[in-house]
Amino acid sequence: MPRYRDYIPLPALADGEHENGNGKHKSTHGKRRRIVLGLLALSVLANVYFIYSTSTEWQAPLDNYQALNTHPIVDAKALPSLSPVNPREHAVVTGLYTDAFATAVATLGHTLNTANSSAARLLFYLPDKISRRALCIATVSGWEPVPIERIAPPFRGVHRHFLDQYSKLQLWTLDRRGYKSVVYVDADALVRRRFDELFRLPHTFAATPDVYATAPGYVTAFNAGVMVIRPDGALFDDMVRKIATARYPAEQAEQAFLNLYFGAEALRLPYAYNGNLAIKLRTPALWAGMQDEMRIVHFTLAKPFLQGDYEEVPMDELEKNAEKVARKKTAFKEEIAEWLEAWRETRRIYGSQLAQCDAL
């Protein structure tokens, strides 16, 4: 038996096992199967709970808008007790940073005149970027041109349409001209009703919360298209010192910075003061409910006076362009028609001046 000198007997097989080990493999396979089935069951239960919780969860109030409160947003009985607006101390301001917005500024000015605000009208513009022709067109409806120094973006990554928007911070220097309260309105807006009550607010800063047609929807961050400020040169200096050191998303330029700077202190205004078109897409019922109180319509998602990538539209082609934008963005056809009618009125009233400007 020398050839079997190193032989070691194998252990006896347990009952139910075979020499090839299948019994052990089957036992392991069974355990794995039970684990997988358990995990699947947990996954199903989690999904059922998620569907149940989301389907029974209350919507955000504005997404669930119901026309319950029909009272005006301003108490008319309180207005007589307020001091009248003084054009030497109170101003509506807009900005012109590219020639393409000149007709929009003229149209905004006309609607402001129709609303009969007694405040001054100031137009901030960048002398190195705005042509004589565009400035002439923009000011036909009564804006006083105010040249300002450009404030360059402190970061890379700013959206190309917002590269000059930090210049808006110059609003806070208007105390040097004697202004105590200012309402800033973006050029891509129309005024429906007078909003002189805003000049009497005692707060340092006020703006309307922003809105997104999709997620995140209604947010506490504000939109910088309409702002109420109390000019303060010292505050301006402080902001300019901090725009390059504060941490905020670069893409949205001055709006992101202002939300960081005033985020906790800003007074949030009703949506009627900044009728962002995104509201109409997000909650049509809310948009419909705002109509009687709307002060300012903000053309955030449809600009009937632009073509291509923020390119200027010749005055003679504005009507056709607006109709084209309305066909493309059908959700806003009524608002675009409203802007177009305001432009037609602007051209009827200031036609001869506009023609002279266009010839420059």
pLDDT at 13 over 50: no
Q: Are 107 and 339 in contact (CB under 8 A)?
A: yes
Number of Cβ within a 10 Å radius of residue 140: 23
Per-residue pLDDT, 75? 92
> pLDDT per residue over 190-235, tens digit each?
999 999 999 999 999 999 999 999 999 999 999 999 999 999 999 9
Q: How far apart are CA 63 and CA 49, in angstroms?
A: 23
Per-residue pLDDT, 251? 93
pLDDT at 286 over 70: yes
Per-residue pLDDT, 80? 83
Per-residue pLDDT, 76? 87
Q: Are 208 and 270 in contact (CB under 8 A)?
A: yes
Q: How far apart are CA 327 and CA 69, in angstroms?
A: 34
> pLDDT per residue over 309-318, tens digit each?
999 999 999 9
Per-residue pLDDT, 57? 61
User: What is the rounded average pLDDT of the residues 83-110?
Assistant: 96
Q: Are 16 and 23 in contact (CB under 8 A)?
A: yes
Name which of 4-18, 170-184, 257-271, 330-344 the model is least confident about: 4-18
pLDDT at 173 over 50: yes
Per-residue pLDDT, 19? 46
User: What is the rounded average pLDDT of the residues 24-50?
Assistant: 73
Q: Are 259 and 222 in contact (CB under 8 A)?
A: yes
> pLDDT per residue over 296-310, tens digit each?
999 999 999 999 999
Per-residue pLDDT, 105? 98
Q: Per-residue confidence at 62, pLDDT binned at 50, 70, 90?
A: very high
Q: Which residue has the higher pLDDT, 337 or 26?
A: 337
> pLDDT per residue over 110-164, tens digit each?
999 999 999 999 999 999 999 999 999 999 999 999 999 999 999 999 999 999 9
Nearest in space to 169 (alpha carbons), one of 123, 210, 229, 102: 229
Q: Are 326 and 333 in contact (CB under 8 A)?
A: yes
Q: CB within 8 A of 14, min separation 6: which ones?
A: 23
Per-residue pLDDT, 193? 96
Q: How far is CA 172 from CA 85, 128, 219, 257, 310, in A?
A: 19, 21, 25, 14, 27
Residue the block writes with tokens 């355990």:
31
Q: Per-residue confidence at 53, pLDDT binned at 50, 70, 90?
A: low
pLDDT at 253 over 90: yes
**134 DSSP 8-state letter:** H
Per-residue pLDDT, 199? 97
- Calculate the average pLDDT of the chain: 91
